[in-house]
Amino acid sequence: MIKVAKFGGSSVADAGQFKKVKDIVRSDPDRRFVVVSAAGKRFSDDNKITDLLLLVNAHINYHVDCTSLLADIEERFVELARELGIKYPIAQKFEEFSSVIKSLSPEYIVSRGEWFTARLMAEYLGLPFLDAADAIVFHHDGTIDTERTATQVKDAVQRLGSFVLPGFYGATVDGTIKLFQRGGGDITGAILARCLDADVYENWTDVSGFLSADPRIVDNPRTIHRITFDEMRELSYMGASVLQEEAIFPVREVGIPIQIKNTNRPDKRGTIIRETAEEGAQEHLITGIAGKKDFLAVHVQKAHMSNAVGVIRRALGIFERYGVSVEHIPTGVDSFGVVVNGADVKDTIYSIINDMQQELKPDSINLVDKLALISVVGRNMSRRPGTSGRVFGVLGEAGINIRMITQSSQEISIIVGVNNEDFERAINVIYEKFVSDEMVDMVRGEVQ
């Protein structure tokens, strides 16, 4: 059995966290491949090493001295090594890096957060260190060279047996360091799991799994124990960001499940993410609720539109021309809406509407801004007719005005638009009705 274990920033933030990682890795001989992020926050208003390195770049850019900032970063690594009795000459190595910092690329500088963290972790765990620049191969356009990466990883396994790999970066064939997007250590872990044909991709973080709602909005939300990749996509897209959005693709394609686990509470079950979630007596109607504020919808009404070919295509073409990506297109018989991120059209919305007037000749166009979208996600909803009606019902009873509704094509989510100011309350009433009152809502009968 092969398990890839990726530890996020908070899991490697200080010596105490390193000890927990060691206990976790040592407790299971299948955990032979470890991926780490750069040391993250030790307490809530602490800084992540990655953020500090980005700040170093900004200093260099503006020709501001960053000696003391570099000294702070060095001190964090030095303290880690000292407290853990690690022999690696971290101060000397960090100073070598600092002394040539102005000659280094911004991506190289930021990548050193994971590089130094992984160096220390490798020695602490007694495992070989594998530089991601020798394993994760990028094309020049920033996409991954899957074949070369697989070859490099397999070679490394032959050579080293097991290893600690820094997340978040890789290199092109000519050695130029490239970064993933923020949170990209999750992607490294997924790519490694795929190359190794792992049985599971374990993602160790600071929560005991994927929660059914944002804990900043709902008090103590239930943990989701089993979730499908599709449900997870819907929830992550709408802001439930435990895993980096792109991280599911490499493993999903080859059927490797992802397990979210808590480094601080390894005894907890966590969440398992698979293609299909096997059914048990405890199937829930709704898996989770997520949402985001500040969308904008343009509603277009045009009589006999259902008979006119190409109206929606032309409307979308206008948004494309302005480089705006469209989130949703709720449609009616003679009307449709285009929902976009408010920030994306801040300066262009009136030109866009003007172009729509000219090119579509609609009967009316109206604009709804300060729109919050809430996605109610559940693989079982399609088997329970009337769920959307009940969602609208509870919002109506709470006096919350629904500005828009749409449903995903696989019927695993219902998306409702409400005013920004009703956002938190709407999530809470839906949660209360469908998740807290689970005795009422559990899908019985169909699932035995």
CA 322 vs CA 215, 319, 344, 351, 401: distances in Å: 36, 5, 9, 9, 31
Within residues 32-61, the interface with ligand ADP by CB under 6 A covers: 37, 40
β-bridge mates for residue 413, sequence order: 377
- Choose among 288, 341, 303: nearest CA to 319: 341
Partner touching 242 among ligand ADP, ligand ASP, Mg ion, none, CB below 5 to 8 Å by kind? ligand ADP
Q: Which of these segments, 59-67, 139-147, 179-187, 326-334, binds ligand ASP (CB under 6 A)?
A: 179-187
50 binds ligand ASP (CB under 6 A): yes
Note whether 170 binds Mg ion by CB under 5 A: no
Site residues for ligand ASP, window 7-26 (CB under 6 A)?
Answer: 8-9
Return the residue nearest Mg ion (CB atom).
Answer: 183
Q: Is residue 205 at the binding interface for ligand ADP, with CB under 6 A as the rule? A: yes
Min dist CB 18 to ligand ADP, Å, is 14
- The strands making up 413-419's β-sheet, listed across from edge to edge, are 326-328, 335-341, 288-301, 364-377, 413-419, 402-407
Our finding on whether 251 is near ligand ADP (CB under 6 A) is: no
Ranges of H-type helices in 85-175? 90-99, 106-125, 146-160
Q: State yes or no: residue 270 binds ligand ASP (CB under 6 A).
A: no
Q: How far apart are alpha carbons 155 and 313 in whole angstroms?
A: 49
User: Is 185 one of the binding residues for ligand ASP (CB under 6 A)?
Assistant: yes
- Virtual CA dihedral for 338, 339, 340, 341, nearest 10 degrees? 160
By CB under 6 A, tell whether 241 contacts ligand ASP.
no
Give the closest residue to 324 by CA, choosing from 296, 305, 300, 301. Answer: 296
DSSP 183-240: TTHHHHHHHHHHHTT-SEEEEEESSSSEESS-TTTSSSPPEESEEEHHHHHHHHHTT-
x-marked contacts with Mg ion along 3-32 as a string, rule CB under 5 A: -----x------------------------
Toward ligand ADP, which CB reaches closer, 171 or 240?
Answer: 240
184: contact with ligand ASP by CB under 6 A: yes
Residue 247 found at the interface with ligand ADP (CB under 6 A): no
List residues near ligand ADP by CB under 6 A. Answer: 8-11, 37, 40, 183, 205-207, 210-211, 214, 240-242
List residues near ligand ASP by CB under 6 A. Answer: 8-9, 37-38, 48, 50, 113, 167-168, 182-186
